[in-house]
Amino acid sequence: MSMQRLMVMADFPTGFSTKLQDFYKRLYFPTELKSVKNSLNVRPWDDVLLVSVLKGQNVTGVRKDKGKKDFLVEQISVVLLRTELLQRQHRYKELCRYLRVVETDNPLLFHQVQDLIPFFTCMMGDLPFALGSLLPTVNAPASRFTPQLFLFYLLVFQTATAPKVVVLQSSELSFDKVWEPIKDAVPLTWVTLVRFALRVHRCCPAVYADPQCWASLINVANTPKALQRPSPKFLLEAMGFVSSTLQDEYGSNIQIPRFFMEEYPDQAVLLLVTGALCLRILDAPLNPAFLVLNAFKENVWALGWLWSTLSSSPERFNSFLLEFSEETENITGLSSHHWFHLRIDQPDS
């Protein structure tokens, strides 16, 4: 969309509005769409209802005027132009308010724009609220993630940086732009990132299946990188606790009990992630697995814990060993035997 069209959008000259309205008067509208026809007046930016929505004074998009209800309904082309202009003006808070209440004539395209509300919230500097808006209890935008989009948001939350772009759908969010610090934003804690990633893995099949997403999650859980190997007693007890926690809460807002993190807090979080990976391996082949397992290189004791946990399902574990051995030999030309000798009751080597 050209800047010239944006300027037209900013001022809405009377002649432009009149011509647009005359055009729609000539169109045939079914009875159920008469309300859309009646709302096709292109509102100027100082329209009372629009202003009240942008300022947060009206959260419904409905206003009573002389006994009649005025609904904030606009053509999708108008919605897209407003979305573009508000981004260029860095008016992200107003944009989010507008997108939450406006109604339009193209729900499919509009939902793609609404899925950007978490990104616009990030650009406001409120990363915790943005994270929550990705994972509401109903119709979560995160459930429609691609693996790349998951990695995109993970990096935004981890670094409090983002590309300065004007976008109209989530597929336009990418890594190949210049990333800059977000004003007033603070990176989320690594425990918060782990909980976020686990919830996304659970609600989004595309992310759950993707090895790169698992490798990135493990890398987050490896922070700080080299962790002290916990005692064999703790590792054994963690097997049962992690399994029950993931079965009970996986996909909800996972809470990690304080008692589990008292002695080895960082290691406990890494084991929670490792336990989730175990469930993934038991579900279906993981290819390429080398990418994922290599993420444990700083904490090979956790890899030993993974083998011990997987061995409780001998048939699937043996299948995984065969799959990984073939993959490793194809990639490196070397045997994968040294990957599998670790157990939780053995020291690292």
Percent of the chain whose predicted confidence (pLDDT) is above 70:
80
SS3 content of the chain, % helix, strand, coil (to 5): 60, 5, 35
Q: Is the pLDDT of residue 23 over 60?
A: no
Instruction: Give the end of a domain, one of 89, 114, 139.
Output: 114
**Residue where a domain terminates, one of 114, 134, 167:** 114
- Over range 293-297, report the average pLDDT: 89
In a domain, 181, yes or no: no
Give the model's confidence band at 325: pLDDT under 50 very low, under 70 low, under 90 confident, else very high.
confident
Is position 222 within any domain? yes
Give residue 32's pLDDT: 52
* Structure confidence by residue, pLDDT tens digits, 204-245: 999 999 999 999 999 999 876 789 999 999 999 898 888 887
Q: With beta carbons less than 8 A apart as the criterion, state whether 166 and 116 touch.
A: no
Strands 68-71 and 161-163: unpaired
Provide the pLDDT confidence category of residue 6 given band limits of 50, 70 and 90.
very low
Rounded-to-integer distance, Cα 344 and Cα 275, Å:
14
100 lies in the same domain as 200: no
Tell me whether residue 184 is in a domain.
Answer: no
Amino acid letter, 172: E
Q: Which residues contact 260 (CB under 8 A, 6 or more apart)?
A: 238, 241, 268
- Please check the confidence at residue 1 and state whether its pLDDT lies above 50: no
Share of the chain above pLDDT 90, in %: 62
> Same domain for 194 and 335?
yes
> Which of 91, 92, 151, 98 lies closest to 118 in space, CA to CA?
92
pLDDT bin (cut points 50, 70, 90) of residue 11 is low
Phi, then psi, of 339 in degrees rounded to 5: -75, -25
> Is 131 part of any domain?
no
Distance CA 88, CA 228 (A): 48
- State how many domains the chain has: 2
Query: Using one digit for the tens of pLDDT, what is the confidence trace for 40-86?
Result: 568 999 999 999 999 999 999 999 988 899 999 999 999 999 999 99
pLDDT band with cut points at 50, 70 and 90 for residue 3: very low
Residue-by-residue DSSP string for 186-204: -PPPHHHHHHHHHHHHHH-
**More confidently predicted of 150 and 225:** 150
Q: Which of 114, 141, 168 is the last residue of a domain?
A: 114
**Residue 346 domain-assigned?**
no
Residues 196 and 333 in one domain: yes
Residues 94, 214 within the same domain: no
Quick: pLDDT tens for 88-122: 999 999 999 999 999 999 999 999 999 999 999 99
pLDDT of res. 213: 96
Amino acid at 55: K
Q: Which CB contacts under 8 angstroms, 24+ apart, belong to 39-48?
A: 39/71, 39/73, 39/74, 40/75, 41/17, 42/12, 42/16, 42/17, 42/74, 42/75, 42/78, 43/12, 43/74, 44/11, 44/12, 44/17, 45/10, 45/12
CA angle 171, 177, 182 (to 5 degrees): 95
Average pLDDT of every residue of the chain: 85
Number of Cβ within 10 Å of residue 189's Cβ equals 12
Q: Is the dihedral of CA 242, 244, 247, 252 positive or negative?
A: negative
Q: Which domain holds residue 198?
A: 190-339
Dist CA 94 CA 86 (whole Å): 8
Distance of CA 331 to the CA centre of its chain: 31
